[in-house]
Structure 1
């Protein structure tokens, strides 16, 4: 029975890893459907290559920073069959699929950033940023929250009566990704032609609503692996997490529908806003609380997206700061509200701990974002030239468009 249990846990976490890996195609198509046609190839290539760079950065450095574990031993030790001093890997390769699962979370950070900096960012400097973020920046905070590094959780519990609760990453993943992205977006500046001389915005509509919708659907499906399988074992899995994720998604959709006045881009991103917000407390909130959390997130996204684009002149192409940064912040705080037993939750959370932990996370991420992209801007440069931006990232970086045959007038070649 022990072997069966171990094998079942390996399979369970592996399926979670595959679902979250699948989400990266959702990030890609969400960006493809939003950016202009001349930047669609770049969106696809960028997110796939970002995942590859993230894998190496997390394998060699990031996972060790977060959990103090490396994989530089024999395969027999990695699968739990052999022994090595200082290494204690579980049988059946459980720790290997756990790495895969947590890697997909880490790689979501550059995938989030990608949507904000679309259409004008250089390719190779962004890969350098990805390597630094996934090797060092993200794992530092991940380890503090999910491994108790630097005594962070002990301090939180001593100071506020409970640790910082972030079950599936409203702050650790989404908040961190969104606030790093804010620094990147501001360092890059606005796209050429985004605003008229008088400062009024020039609308740039999504290039392909079906692709945008496809990206949202893929992310929604994968998110149930993101949230539910954060239990990381069959013994710990809870249907409450699935129900709460569903209700928050629905709340986000309906709120974005109303506040966004039927706009399809807002509706499909509203689903994601709700899912971002519910991650932190999805294991402790009541489904009605999750519905409220998702509804607030959907409305917040629409209002702040419009505020950023039209009032503050922050050219965040996919709205990743409002979606992941702000809705992630709301989710971290909301876990301390709707997780309370007085509001139907399971308890064991502290509002003050959630507020302080969430603020620490976003401040850490914002400082890191401005630092990383500020250094890259001052050294290598992070923005395409005006001519390259006009021609589009597809031709400027990859020398091919999304529909190459059309470049030849539809003729065979």
Structure 2
């Protein structure tokens, strides 16, 4: 009898391990596909002479990110390496390996975010060098502090305020950090030539709205893997996360349509603003709280991107700082607001902690980006020459155009 029970328990455990591995693998694949969304969003926004470069950068960044995260980043964040035999690595159906893949797709989102801000005038290999150090060291430093309890920050939050910093799917850890890293890179690069004419700002129109829309759709669909699969186990799957993601996305769409005055660029970035913001508290909020979170995020994006493009020297091509950096920071704070039980949330979250944790993420992102891109700027330079920029990154870097001359 005991043997039969043991066999049943063993079979259940094996099935659970297999299910969790498959669940997380599907999430990793969905988030990996989101990188195609980043690529086409950028392709549709930049001018024709930079479309090839947009595609190549995203894929090359992913390759470099994989190497950086495999050898350094995952170890910095979680203290784990892969320098053991394959039999040991594959234990438990290789769940830990799939977990690495899943978290890698998050880490690789950082340079994909940066790519949209620095488009049309950045050199190729210096940016890839920056990607290596950002993904290998800067991003996992904060990732490990929040998602693995490194350096005692979460323990201090819990001991002092009664709750840790809550970021379920990365509003701050991924998007906020990525957006603020991008801001520093954009500042180092400066404005594209031709953006200011006769003392007035000139905005370059998107080159391909259908590609831009395709990128937004791919990202929006993949985001449900980004958020829901952040549970990392099938018994943690939550319909609330899916519902809140949906409501924040819808709020972002409608708000961007209204505030952005039917501009297709804003409308297709609206759902992304809402989804960025809801990541942190998607497992805590009431759907109405998620809706408000998405509404506020989209309004922030439209207003700040418009102001930035027309009134400042910050030439952020895709608006990744307002979209990911600022909306991500809003998401971290929104989790502390709408996660409260008084507002229909699940509770167990502190607004004070959410504010402090968000500011900590911004500080690490800004400081790390300043060090990495600042050194590269001094040593090799980050920017194409004026002639190379005029000819376009496609011809200057890749020696090919996105369209045939025939």
Range of TM-score over shorter length: over 0.9
CA distance in 2, matches of 1:62, 1:168: 18
Question: Which residue does 2:155 correspond to in 1?
Answer: 154
Listed as ranges, the matches of 1:170-185 within 5 Å are 170-185=171-186
Listed as ranges, the matches of 1:215-234 within 5 Å are 215-234=215-234
Listed as ranges, the matches of 1:339-350 within 5 Å are 339-350=339-350
2:256 paired with 1:283: no
Question: Which residue does 2:86 correspond to in 1?
Answer: 75
Q: How far apart are 1:197 and its partner, in Å?
A: 3.3
Q: How far apart are 1:389 and its partner, in Å?
A: 0.2
CA distance in 2, matches of 1:184, 1:159: 35
Q: How far apart are 1:364 and its partner, in Å?
A: 1.2
**Equivalent of 1:11, from 22, 25, 30?**
22
Q: How far apart are 1:160 and its partner, in Å?
A: 1.5
Q: How far apart are 1:313 and its partner, in Å?
A: 2.2
Q: How far apart are 1:203 and its partner, in Å?
A: 2.2
Aligned residues: 395
Q: How far apart are 1:301 and its partner, in Å?
A: 0.1
Once the two structures are superposed, residues 135-194 of structure 1 have per-residue CA deviations (whole angstroms, 9 ceiling, x without a partner) of: 000000000000000011001111221000000000000000000000000000000001
**Equivalent of 1:36, from 34, 47, 50?**
47
CA distance in 2, matches of 1:302, 1:313: 17
2:256 paired with 1:256: yes
Question: Which residue does 1:87 correspond to in 2?
Answer: none
8 Å CA contact 2:190, 2:313 repeated in 1: no
Stretches of 4+ aligned residues off by more than 4 angstroms: none
**Equivalent of 1:55, from 51, 66, 74?**
66
Once the two structures are superposed, residues 307-347 of structure 1 have per-residue CA deviations (whole angstroms, 9 ceiling, x without a partner) of: 11111221000000000000000000000000000000000
CA distance in 2, matches of 1:375, 1:233: 41
Question: Which residue does 1:85 correspond to in 2?
Answer: none
Unpaired segments ≥5 residues, structure 2: 1-11
- TM (normalized to structure 2)? 0.97
CA distance in 2, matches of 1:385, 1:400: 18
Listed as ranges, the matches of 1:167-206 within 5 Å are 167-198=168-199, 200-206=200-206
Once the two structures are superposed, residues 46-67 of structure 1 have per-residue CA deviations (whole angstroms, 9 ceiling, x without a partner) of: 0000000000000011000000
CA distance in 2, matches of 1:202, 1:309: 9
2:132 paired with 1:109: no
The 3-state SS of whatever aligns with 2:281 is coil
Question: Which residue does 2:138 correspond to in 1?
Answer: 137
CA distance in 1, matches of 2:124, 2:43: 16
